[in-house]
Amino acid sequence: MSAGEDIAVRLVAPEEASHLVGLIQRCYGETYIDPSFNSEAAVGELLRSGRLHSIGAFTEPGELVGHMGITLRPHGGNTADAGMTLVDPAFRGRGIARLVAVGLAQQAMALGMVGVHDYPVTVHAATQRIGADFGVDTGLMLANLPGDVVFQEMETPSPGARTSSLIRWLPFGLAPERTVCLPKRYRAQIEALYADALLSRSVVESDERPTQRESKLERAYDERRQTLRVAVTRIGRDLADKVGAETRDAVTHGGLVAHVDLPLADSATPAAIEALRAHGFFFAGLLPEYRDGDVLRMQWLADSVDDTVASILSTDSTRAIEAFVLRDRT
């Protein structure tokens, strides 16, 4: 894809899975958030299947020293998740992360993506700086990563505490025009985010109540993260009750955090947001083109979660989105 000094940036081949596993262990030890990435076989299968597109920075002898990944979602779409930003501790400070970020942009465009969603952690500023010049911070997920994740050779505030992550939109193409139904509570904030992201949206407000009796949900519980994820595919009158039941069930399995994604094309979403707020949910972020259009993510934290750990935030926009999320929680 590109080269800088003695570093070549290219896709990681399936037969090079061991290189990625090794880099992860040099950066995180055995504490990486997804334990399957400690397995060469599992990583190799992800690369062969095309679900993961790994952009690597290789030294001339062939050592992998930097990485970013694009993960395709099961439901498809014109966006994907970016992440797995890794730089070998011995090679930090050489601009490798930016080289890999350029490679990621090229690969995303080659895949026909109009953009990707990235999730820089707030425990340090290194990953926040990548893409800050052209990305838009659209949310903040509080305490979404467990406290036992160790960032090798990086100073972090309050070691052992859960870590928060930004939601960042990185555009690489022209997104389709869409009509979105925004709640009055968040309309000004979301319209400002749309303007910053240069997204063409027709905004309507709606007081419509759900007409469907039953909601349809897709739920997944991540034991490692202790996080429940719910995608709402149909909003019914029982939505808050169903989400509440799923959250309580997750808590019995150790769950500390819940995220609920609501489609902004649905005129019942504003009413659903208010119903969820009554159950302790609050604003997490806007995810453009996330799933058949734009999604608004709401979040919930168990009372036992300490989310008061100071974040290291690198820009005015990151500080502004943090302030908005914290205001909405109170």
Show the domain range for 149: 2-171
Structure confidence by residue, pLDDT tens digits, 195-243: 999 999 999 988 889 888 899 999 999 999 999 999 999 999 999 999 9
Q: What CATH number should be reported for the domain holding residue 291?
A: 3.40.630
Is residue 288 one of the residues assigned to a domain? yes
**285 contacts 263 by C-beta, under 8 angstroms:** no
145 and 273, same domain (yes or no)? no
The domain tally of the chain equals: 2
Whole-number Å distance between alpha carbons of 141 and 146 = 12
Sign of CA dihedral 264, 244, 217, 298: positive
| Tokens, residue 256 | 């500390």
**What pLDDT score was predicted for residue 171?**
96
Which residue is it, tokens 């009796």?
213
Structure confidence by residue, pLDDT tens digits, 312-322: 777 888 889 99
**Closest among 192, 131, 90 to 314, alpha carbons compared:** 131
Is residue 27 one of the residues assigned to a domain? yes
Whole-number Å distance between alpha carbons of 264 and 190 = 11
pTM of the complete model: 0.92
Is residue 180 one of the residues assigned to a domain? no
Which of 171, 193, 218 is the last residue in one of the domains? 171
Paired strand residues for 222: 227
Structure confidence by residue, pLDDT tens digits, 48-57: 999 999 999 9
H-only helix segments in the chain: 17-28, 40-49, 96-110, 126-129, 187-197, 239-252, 269-277, 316-329
35 and 113, same domain (yes or no)? yes
Is residue 229 one of the residues assigned to a domain? yes
86 and 229, same domain (yes or no)? no
**Closest among 14, 301, 316 to 141, alpha carbons compared:** 301
Q: What CATH number should be reported for the domain holding residue 141?
A: 3.40.630.30
- The CA-CA-CA angle for residues 154, 133, 54, to 5°, reads 60
**What pLDDT score was predicted for residue 116?**
97
Whole-number Å distance between alpha carbons of 99 and 253 = 41
Q: pLDDT class for 151, splitting at 50, 70, 90?
A: confident
